[in-house]
Amino acid sequence: MTEPYKHKAVPALDVFKPDLFKDKVVFVTGGGSGICYGVTETLMRFGAKAAIVGRKAERLRAAAQQLERDTKSKAIATPGDVRKIETIQHAVKQTLDAFGKIDFVICGAAGNFMAPIEGLSSNAFRAVVEIDLIGTFNTVRATMEEVKKNHGSYVHISATLHYSGLPWQSAASSAKAGIDAFSAALAVELGPFGVRSNCIAPGLIAGTEGADRLVPQGQEEMAQGFIPMQRIGQKEDIANAAVFLFSEAASWVTGQILVVDGGSVHFRGPFLPYPDAVMDTQSFKSLFPGSKM
């Protein structure tokens, strides 16, 4: 039997010119870890300077220092909570004081956990929506005048959760659907100012909190088997998509959602046993240690 072929993740520097983002400044929420850290690192390797935003100041400062060491470009930590616009406005001021402008914005701060609707409190649902959706709005409102000046670009980190009625993911699905709609409206309103807005919808990405929470323990190989490209995604895959969307090659691309998931959205395997997982939620709690019931 022929083994399935697996494409490897390709570093962006193998494809794009090295000084692609020289003198550009990127403002990144959620930039202290995960996918957004990986995207920031890649943009900095192309010459961009970065301001990363997150709630945990010490971890953020350590991340900024590591980014500088690894890329030889400049990064600053600008602590803030996307749920509070005044803290994001302060982070924007810090960025302008350090770098003088903002060209690109990545809206990537996110919160999520596994929970059936019956296990969600109003506060828990609100928390996810506030971080993901309200946080995106606050980030855009705090940065848009600067981005307009530089005819810049927004990339919002969305998801594919809401493309179907995915059990145990109602809060994140609702928030990400809102982000997709908001990005489209932003593209229309700011297009005449030379500003573009697009979403990247990652699939399952290795080494992220999302992968750790959403894949049942011990089921990593099964999850990979349901991906047409036969591998779990890497942070480089999302970084490459961001490089394209921020580059001049995408100058006529706005209001779009770029799904980067190895084809998973077209061939979804069983995320949870159905209908068992909704009829008897407690029986599956052990598969997701961080879930709420």
**Catalytic positions:** 158, 176
Cβ–Cβ < 8 Å for 42, 242: yes
The Cα–Cα gap between 244 and 241 comes to 5
User: How far apart (Å, rounded) are the C-alpha atoms in residues 1 and 111?
Assistant: 42
* Residue 88: partners with Cβ closer than 8 Å, 6 or more residues away: 29, 53, 80, 81, 82, 138, 139, 142, 143
- Sign for the CA dihedral angle at 154, 158, 164, 169 comes to negative
CB atoms within 10 A of CB 228: 12
DSSP code, position 208: S
Residue 264 vs residues 112, 204, 223: alpha-carbon distances, Å? 20, 9, 10
